[in-house]
Amino acid sequence: MIAYVTVGADDIALAKRFYSAFLPALGYGLEEGHEGLSYALPVAPGQTSALPDFYVTPPFDGGPASAGNGSMVAFQAGSQQQVRELHAAALAAGGFDEGPPGFRAAYGPHFYVGYLRDPQGNKVALFSSDPKEPGRDG
């Protein structure tokens, strides 16, 4: 099980604007600290944690942040409409389009996805794969 994912950012305020445009709509709460941003899902009573957490921090080594080639973090939305709405909100908050929301021939008929780059260049996907929604082939 993945416990957490961390991406680097040189401008934490810009990263906060971008990620706060869609992560709260997916249930993530934000805590800010001197290390950067911590987004976490709520913990239900009796539950130890709701994984994974998502962190946005300056690199530990003090060097500039860089996006990993081939790295991507995907967040599951509740519907195709939510993918469209959150993709648009993230673009308005400083993100860059890496592929508009829609179906992709390489994936299953219900996999609906939009791709973004955060202001630092990290790749992010927002997707829905609800079989009750219209699929690619109909």
CATH number of the domain encompassing residue 109: 3.10.180.10
> Does the residue 137 lie in any domain?
no
> Does the residue 72 lie in any domain?
yes
The dihedral sign for the CA sequence 26, 7, 94, 103 = negative
> Does the residue 86 lie in any domain?
yes
Domain of 85 in residue numbering reads as 4-59+67-128
Q: Taking 90 as the threshold, does the pLDDT of residue 39 lie above it?
A: yes
> Does the residue 133 lie in any domain?
no
What pTM was computed for the model?
0.91
When divided into structural domains, the chain yields a total of 1
Q: Taking 70 as the threshold, does the pLDDT of residue 74 lie above it?
A: yes
CA distance readout (Å), 26 to 13, 76, 108: 20, 8, 23
Q: What is the mean pLDDT of the chain?
A: 94
Residue-wise pLDDT for 77-111, tens only, equals 999 999 999 999 999 999 999 999 999 989 999 99
> Does the residue 134 lie in any domain?
no
> Does the residue 73 lie in any domain?
yes
Burial class (CB in 10 A: 0-12, 13-18, 19+), 25: middle
Residues 6+ apart with CB under 8 A from 67: 7, 117, 120, 121, 122, 123
If you average pLDDT over residues 25-52, what whole number do you get?
91
pLDDT in the model for residue 49: 80
> Does the residue 50 lie in any domain?
yes
pLDDT in the model for residue 86: 98
pLDDT band at 14 (very low <50, low <70, confident <90, very high): very high
Structure tokens at 95: 């993100």
pLDDT in the model for residue 65: 94
> Does the residue 136 lie in any domain?
no
Residue-wise pLDDT for 107-134, tens only, equals 999 999 999 999 999 999 999 999 999 9
